[in-house]
Amino acid sequence: MDFTLTDEQLMFAETARTLLGDTCTPDHWHKMMEQGTAFDAARWGQIVDNGFTLLMLPEAVGGMGLAELDLALIAIEAGYVALPEPLLESAGVGAPMLAGLAPDHPALGDPSAIIAVAPAINPVVANADIATAILIEKNGRAFLATPDQVALTPAETIDPLRRLFRIEWDETNAQDLGPADWGMALDRAALFAAAQGLGLAQRSVDLAVAYAKDRMQFGKPIGSYQAVKHHLASAQTAIEFARPVVMAAAAGIGHADVHSRARVSHAKIVALEAAEKAARASIQVHGAMGYSWEVDVHLFLKRTLALKAAWGTPTFHRNRIATRVFSQPVGADQTFARENEHA
């Protein structure tokens, strides 16, 4: 399997890095938290203008027709800035799903539309209040409703830059779109959570490195001490081991078999474990300040913990990996095996 990224993929990633790096800074986070909001309309407008919301939509409905790997690269950059807006949930999960079920739906004609997703596996839904439409799972079918057709109750969340809601709804007030591939929706969401984990982890390490260079103790930077180096080296190693797992999962997700599902689960587990390890190491490097609201590392730990609990718990994903291990051949020659080719 060739994991070499194309020039187009690298260009999209660089564009996302620049845009999000310029528009989603610590000053923006603090302002949003002061205002009690988790959505910046101006930033969302720039995301839309750059075509990111159309990336995974089929060309037949006006999208770019690109794949999960392309959006995963942008998800890494979104994680690096702890992006509050629901780019990944809407553009990576909701919009492609709606396109497959109702390609003529008016929401698909509006690149700025937010499609929220309410699968059975998640007890709460992110950004349901600002969604143009909400896809709701029931008995394997997909129902479509607007926020005014359901009852939304705000849910507590550890992450101050996410808004979660519990949904109460009635089938008579929703449009039945028929049977839906909720398994693929779960795989995509778990994959993009894993990709965000890589960005969250790297930002935590970068914040700690910058602080360790500037913080002086006994006349020299604390980064010169071996204990600090070991903490951060260990965190960076976890990131580098998780990265190819995420890329492999993104490249093979379309096969939708026991192998690809196990890789997605593996990616979500190891990437978010790396993110948690990096965030906790960064907090420790910052010392007592690391536990304060003035130091932004807490945002990355909170986002990591929120993503670990969403779209399948670690236990759920370990069980999916176990299904692959105990039902299919294992070994070096089976790393990139396909279920339909190696039954």
Residue after which a domain boundary falls, among 180, 195, 210 = 180
Q: Would you say residue 221 has pLDDT above 70?
A: no
Q: Would you say residue 28 has pLDDT above 60?
A: yes
What CATH code is carried by the domain that includes residue 39?
Answer: 1.10.540.10
Please indicate, yes or no, if residue 133 is contained in any of the structural domains.
yes
Same domain, 93 and 208: no
Q: Would you say residue 290 has pLDDT above 80?
A: no
Instruction: Write out pLDDT tens, residues 136-190.
Output: 999 999 999 999 999 999 999 999 999 999 999 999 999 999 999 999 999 999 9
Range in 129-133, 211-215, 216-220 the model is least confident about: 216-220
Residue after which a domain boundary falls, among 180, 197, 215 = 180
Instruction: Compute the distance between CA of residue 310 and CA of residue 286 in angstroms, rounded to an integer.
Output: 28
In this structure, what are the phi and psi dihedrals at residue 23, rounded to the nearest 5 degrees?
-105, -10
In this structure, what are the phi and psi dihedrals at residue 313, rounded to the nearest 5 degrees?
-70, 165
Please indicate, yes or no, if residue 65 is contained in any of the structural domains.
yes
- Domain residue limits at 73: 7-180
Instruction: Write out pLDDT tens, residues 114-126.
Output: 999 999 999 999 9
Please indicate, yes or no, if residue 84 is contained in any of the structural domains.
yes
- How far from each other are the two terminal CA atoms of the chain, in whole angstroms? 20
Is there a contact between 125 and 134 (Cβ–Cβ < 8 Å)?
Answer: yes
- Structural domains of the chain, count: 2
> At residue 215, what is the residue type?
R
Which pLDDT band holds residue 343 (cuts at 50, 70, 90)?
Answer: very low
Instruction: Compute the distance between CA of residue 3 and CA of residue 197 in angstroms, rounded to an integer.
Output: 19
